[in-house]
Amino acid sequence: RCSPPNETTRNQEESIIMPVHNASCWLDECLRGVLHQDFTGSMELSAFDDASTDDSRKVLEGWREKLQARGITVVISGHSSPQPRGVGYAKNKAVTQSCGQYLCFQDAVGVFYFMQLKLQKQSKSTRACRLPEGSTERYTRWINSLTRDQLVTQVYTSHGPTVVMPTWFCSRRLFLNVGPFDEGGKGLPEDLLFFYQLLRRGGSLFRVDRSLLVYRYHEKATTHSVTEETIWKLRVDFLQERVLSQWENFTIWNAGKQGRKLYRSLDPISQRKVKAFCDVDENKIQKGFYTYEESKERPKPRIPILHYNDATSPFIICVKLDMTEGVLEENLNSLQLKEGTDYYHFN
């Protein structure tokens, strides 16, 4: 139960959480998807406008009557400060002013399909398709092809959360236990930070194996403000915390640029656990060793470079998924390795 200012206490089963910033050109399509949802019980839309300078707030208000006629409670607020406070702040505000027992997170640029909420309530997440068609093709293929186990085992890859943010559906109790979102603002991946914290708290991941969301790609998306190096450091730290701390030693699969970068990014304890690099490239293998020249240790660490057939598990795979025409997968299968036990993907 909650009591928003100037309103009687209201009970809602599901709340759609929508942060908004300069999204007026997409809001009509987005809100039309909300309007046409096939839902039972009670539902509300909780939107927070994060200092938009376009007419986003006006568009939101223009949909209030239609949504309420459909039985959807509408809560809209925001601020008009000179600068936006960021996606994490807007999401937290939208959650705070909402009352639903369950929270469905929706970006203002996304579009719900007809039965999304009904099916999400059963499985907590969905597949998604991209607009424009073909944009971020590899990423879209990846998020839609993950198995139930891979939703957990592939959380260290460079793509980010295995469950894409605009498909998240969770209980309010879970959100309060894990959250709130980081409010550091531009340049911080609030969704990835929340996702990692969910896993730390023992949260489970489920997905509807149907595409129920159109996820729009556009150049002004806040995700573009997050640098590759920021994501890299978060991934390395989480890998060390969750996986490498549990292993006595391991092999880095890739003696090339990405494998060496991972090694250099590890803390000294994890570096000492690297027993070898492995590869398929004979030129790299013939070098025999990788010498960590930047090390302050004397003598400098020299890590053997082996053919993958001569290396031993567990492995951290630093080869890009979906880029070897199936060769990487064949090599892993030939060794009869189990993902999540004998190896984890990092790229």
pLDDT in tens, the chain (347 residues): 344 444 444 678 999 999 999 999 999 999 998 998 878 789 999 999 999 999 999 999 999 999 999 999 999 999 999 999 999 999 999 999 999 999 999 988 766 554 445 545 554 555 555 555 655 677 778 788 899 999 999 999 976 799 888 888 999 999 999 999 999 988 899 999 999 999 999 999 988 877 666 766 545 555 557 889 999 999 999 999 999 999 999 999 999 999 999 999 999 999 999 999 999 999 999 999 999 999 989 999 999 999 999 999 999 999 988 888 899 999 999 999 999 999 999 98
Q: What is the pLDDT of residue 134?
A: 59
As given in the structure block, the two tokens for residue 22 are 């300069």
Q: What is the pLDDT of residue 186?
A: 81
Q: What is the pLDDT of residue 219?
A: 58
What is the Cα 62 distance to its own chain's centre?
32
- Structural domains in the chain, CATH included, are 14-226 (3.90.550.10), 229-345 (3.40.50)
Structure-token match 């993907």, residue found:
345
Rounded Cα distance between 23 and 213, Å, is 17
The answer to whether the predicted template modeling score (pTM) of the entire model surpasses 0.75 is yes
Rounded Cα distance between 312 and 299, Å, is 25
**56 phi and psi angles, rounded to 5 deg:** -55, -45
Query: Residues 12, 44: contact at Cβ < 8 Å?
Result: yes
190: left (phi over 0), alpha (psi -120 to 50) or beta: alpha
Q: What is the pLDDT of residue 140?
A: 77
Residues 6 or more apart whose CB falls under 8 angstroms from that of 251 comprise 274, 275, 276, 277, 278, 306, 311, 312, 313, 314, 315, 316
Half-sphere exposure of residue 37: CA atoms within 13 angstroms, side-chain side:
31
Q: How many CB atoms lie within 10 A of CB 241?
A: 12
Half-sphere exposure of residue 335: CA atoms within 13 angstroms, side-chain side:
19
Query: Residues 29, 118: contact at Cβ < 8 Å?
Result: no
Per the document, the length of the chain is: 347
Q: What is the pLDDT of residue 144?
A: 82
Q: What is the pLDDT of residue 45?
A: 97
> Smallest Cα–Cα separation from 44: which of 23, 67, 69?
67
Strand partners, 73: 44
| Cβ-defined contacts of 266-269 (< 8 Å, 24+) | 266/236, 266/240, 267/240
Give the Cα-Cα-Cα angle 336, 288, 237 (nearest 5 degrees): 60
Q: What is the pLDDT of residue 61?
A: 98
